[in-house]
A and B are shown apart, each in its own frame.
Chain A
Amino acid sequence: MTDDTPFLEIRNLTVEMKGDAGMIRVLDDVSLSIRRGTTMGIVGESGCGKSMTALAIMRLLPPGFQITSGQILLDGEDITKASEARMRQLRGNDISMIFQEPMTSLNPVYTVGEQIAEAVRQHQGLDTAKAEQRAIEMLKAVQIPGAEARLGSYPHEFSGGMRQRVMIAMALACQPRLIVADEPTTALDVTVQAQIFALMRELQEETGTAIMLITHDLGAVAELADDVAVFYAGWRIEHGPASAILRHPAHPYTSGLMSCTPRLRLGAAASGQGPALLEIEGMVPQLGKMPSGCRFAPRCTLADAHCRSTVPVDTEVEPGHAAMCWKTKAEVLA
C-alpha cells in the first residue's frame, strides 16, 4: 500500500526554546517527508531534536518551546497553522503517538479498556458498548491473550511489554494515517523489542499507516524503515532510502554512528577486521553554543577550515539520498 506522494511533509521546520539569553534553536531548518504506508526511521543521539520533531508534529511541544518557522504538511494541510480545536480532531485520529515510557504513559487509575475506548468515543462518536468492542478488537490485534478479560485490568497489572502493546492498541484504535513512535522499545527487553517491531510491521501491512520511527537503534532502522533521516544537533544531516544509507552513508557522522553499532559492521566483518567497538570522539555541542560552520566539524576527522567556517548545504549524492556535508562527494567516491 505504498505510493510516492508524501503523506507528511516537513518543510524548513525551526523550533526554538525560550532560554535565559533569548531564543535557542533546538530544530534548525529541518525538512523531511514520509510517503503513505512507509516507515521513516529518525536516527540520532539524545538531544539531537528527534523527539522535538515528533512533538512538533503533534503540536504538543513542552511549555517554552515553539515552532518559529516552516511548515508541517499533513496530506497537504499545514498543521503549524491549525487551530487547537483542529489539532484535537487530528490527534489520536489521524496522527497517533507511541511514547517511549510504557511504564508511565498509561494512566494508573483507569482500566486499559477505558483508555483505549475513550479515544474511539471521542473521535468516531461510537457509543460505550461499540467503543468497548473496538477496544477488545485492538487488544486482540496487539496479541494480548484473553483480551475480553484484560479489558477491565489496570496498567499496574501488566508487564512493560504488555503495556507498550496497550499503548500501540491505543494509538491504532482510530486507524490513524500516521503513527509517530518515539523510541517505542527503548525501555523494553530485547526479545520484547523484536515482538513489538514484528507487531508494528504486521499492523502497518494491514492498515497501510505511515510510521515515523524515532530511535537510536540502527538495528531497528535496518529492520523496519524504508527511509532514514539522520539528525545531529538540531540539523537533519542526511536522508535517503534506508538501504542506501545503511550500505554507504554519505555523512561522516552517519558512518561514525554505524561503526559504533557492532552488528551492523557487515563490511568490517566480511573483510575479517576485528569487532572493535568504535566511538565518535568528542561531545554533541551544547544548545545555544553551536560552532559556526558545520556543527559536526569539531568531531569530524575530515573537517578542514572551510567546514569550520561555512554551514554546509544539502548535497545529493545519488537520487533521493542527500547529506549536509562539504566532504560527502569525496567520501562516497573514495
Chain B
Amino acid sequence: MKKNLFLFVILLLASAGIFAQQAVYLARKSKVSFQSDAPLELIKASSTKLQGAIDVTKRTFAFSIPTDSFKGFNSPLQQEHFYENYIEAKAYPVSTFEGKIIEQVDLLNDGNYSVRAKGKLNIHGVEQERIIKVQLRISQGVIYAQTNFSVLLQDHNITIPKVVFQKIAEEIKVIVAVEFGKKQQ
C-alpha cells in the first residue's frame, strides 16, 4: 500500500512537471549505504534502488527505497537478521523521505549549494520529521546530491534484543549519493 502510495506521489510530482516546464528531475543513479559502528560488530550495507524526484521550481522532493534492496552484509545470517528482526522488510517494504528544501535556491542555476531538506522520514513505518543537510552540485541539467545523516533506532521504533544490542549502534549513519536528470518527455 505504502509503496504504491509513494509511487503515486512521485508520479504526481513527475506529471506536475509536465505542466511546470520540465521542472521535475528524476533520480537516475543512486547509492544509499548505511553503517552501524557498534562496539562489537560493524554492520554495513548499501543499495542502488533509490527512486525519487525533485521539483526544482517548488523545491519539493520525494524519495523511496525498497527496504529489502540492501546488499553487502558481512554474512547471510546478518542480512537475514536485518531484514526479519530489525527493519522488518516484509511489513515495511519501503523507506521514504518527502518534503521541501528550506533554502530559497534556484536549482536551475549551475553551481554548488548547501541546502537543508525538511521532510518526513519514514523508516520502519514510523514517520519522523527531519532536516537533512544536503550538498548539491548542479551542472548542465544534472543535479548531484550528496548527504549523510544519522537515524536513531529509537526514533523509528526499531527495537534490538538486549543481547544483540552491543552489536548494533543506537545511531545508524546513512550516506546517500544521487544523480538526478531531467525527466524525459
Check if A and B associate: no
Residues of B within 8 A of A (CB): none
Binding site for B on A (CB under 8 A): none
